[in-house]
Amino acid sequence: MRIINGLIYRPDCEFKSGTLEINGDVISGVSDFVYNFDDDEVIDAQGMFIIPGLTDIHFHGCMGFDLCDGDVNALKTIASYQARNGVTSICPATMTLAPDRIIKILKCAREFRKLNLNGCAELVGINLEGPFISPAKCGAQDPKFAIKPDIDLFAEFYEASGKLIKICCIAPELDGAIDFIKHLRKNFNNVRVSLAHTCADYDTALKAFKAGLNHITHLYNAMNPITHRSPGPILAAADFNDLNQAVMAELICDGVHVHAAAIRNAFRLFNDNIIMISDSLRATGMPDGEYELGGQIFIKQGHKACLKKSPETLAGSVSNLMDCVRFAVKNNIIKLEQAVKCAAVNSAKAINIYDKFGSIEPGKTANLVVLNKKLEIAKVFVRGKIL
């Protein structure tokens, strides 16, 4: 199969016209030349953008289902919806729950991973968002299940998941957190250790980054803000990155969680070290109403989802990752090239799947999205097949 006349997103993160060839489930060639072929295996993408399938490394669910349902059929529905919306690789997040329930959820994800279903986004990892977080900054997480970092418990989680855990969230001010961070970086080097749901000040956060913390969960949210006398963890990360560019920051670009000016400021602080996420909930793709998240009820109304018992607390997002890309580009916050880098390239690199996903190059899996000029999805390819 060949796709001709489209603007192909290249590994240098620029669009250039050309011809893209697919052989089976992989990309077999990318050429700068535009050929005209007269056969049934040619798709004309004149005036359209061809981008890698997106990777969402932090979301909870959609279409009425959640990773924490611990159900294979729920995961099938989630993965199908994500694929249809151009998110072809998924790394969903757990909630802060009792350890035995988390283990059940992780085992379910491991079993789903083995199915390798057609028409579904590929489950490439798990984001362990709880339970090693601060009960004072839980947001929509349930504080009664928040616990101190536990090396042995993490190892149990990791094995239960079939080694699928790619991100482990932690509040670095908790007792034992620094030793926990050092242990994970030494013994689980493929797992990103992320600052999350934390009361950490600048000095504590900087100490954690020096210990090996290399990720930030939904930047700005569930952490101390930037002020001129208490700069907090965000500026600690920015200062640390001035030396080595080691810290990646997740950013929810749904138009609700982070103001457009704050999104622009995040790019000033972190340059290209931004990973766009959705943090989407089970209400994504569903009508307004009441839904459940980690044992708590939230209300979806339009583009917002807030806890029922605490209406000022955002529960998460009800936008998928492609929606977030559109919001950032259509509101002139960043260009499409940069948005794709943050939603496809950086995310794949962060969780060590860039050898197969995240760019359009020969030998990589043919997970592709064709967008028209309005950034509407024209076609989605998953492992070389059109959905």
Same structural domain for residues 21 and 146? Answer: no
**Rg of the chain taking only CA atoms, in angstroms:** 20
pLDDT recorded at residue 39? 62
The full DSSP string for 333-374 is SS-HHHHHIIIIIHHHHHTT-TTTSSS--TTSB--EEEE-TT
pLDDT recorded at residue 295? 85
Look up residue 228 and give its amino acid.
H
- Pinpoint the alpha helices (H) of 245-345: 260-270, 321-330, 336-340
Same structural domain for residues 164 and 284? Answer: yes
Predicted confidence (pLDDT) per residue in 151-162, tens digit: 999 999 999 999
Given the residues 279, 288, 323, 355, select the one marked as catalytic: 279
Specify the DSSP element, H or E, that contains 168: strand 165-170
pLDDT band at 140 (very low <50, low <70, confident <90, very high): confident
pTM of the prediction?
0.96
Predicted confidence (pLDDT) per residue in 222-250, tens digit: 999 999 999 999 999 999 999 888 999 99
Instruction: Please confirm, yes or no, whether 152 is among the known catalytic residues.
Output: no
Domain span at residue 243?
Answer: 54-357
CATH of the domain at 253: 3.20.20.140
Same structural domain for residues 13 and 116? Answer: no
Closest CA to 63 of 73, 54, 55: 73
CATH of the domain at 39: 2.30.40.10
Closest CA to 322 of 63, 85, 93: 85
What's the domain count of the chain? 2
CA distance 138 to 190: 26
Q: Is 190 left (phi over 0), alpha (psi -120 to 50) or beta?
A: alpha
Are 160 and 186 contacting, i.e. CB atoms less than 8 angstroms apart?
Answer: no
pLDDT band at 110 (very low <50, low <70, confident <90, very high): very high
Predicted confidence (pLDDT) per residue in 37-84, tens digit: 666 689 999 999 999 999 999 999 999 999 999 999 999 999 999 999
Look up residue 44 and give its amino acid.
D
Specify the DSSP element, H or E, that contains 81: helix 72-84
Counting Cα atoms < 13 Å in the Cβ hemisphere of 263 gives 26
pLDDT recorded at residue 210? 97
Same structural domain for residues 99 and 203? Answer: yes
What's the token pair of residue 249? 């920051």
CA distance 316 to 306: 8
Same structural domain for residues 244 and 158? Answer: yes
Average pLDDT over residues 6-21: 96
Average pLDDT over residues 24-43: 83
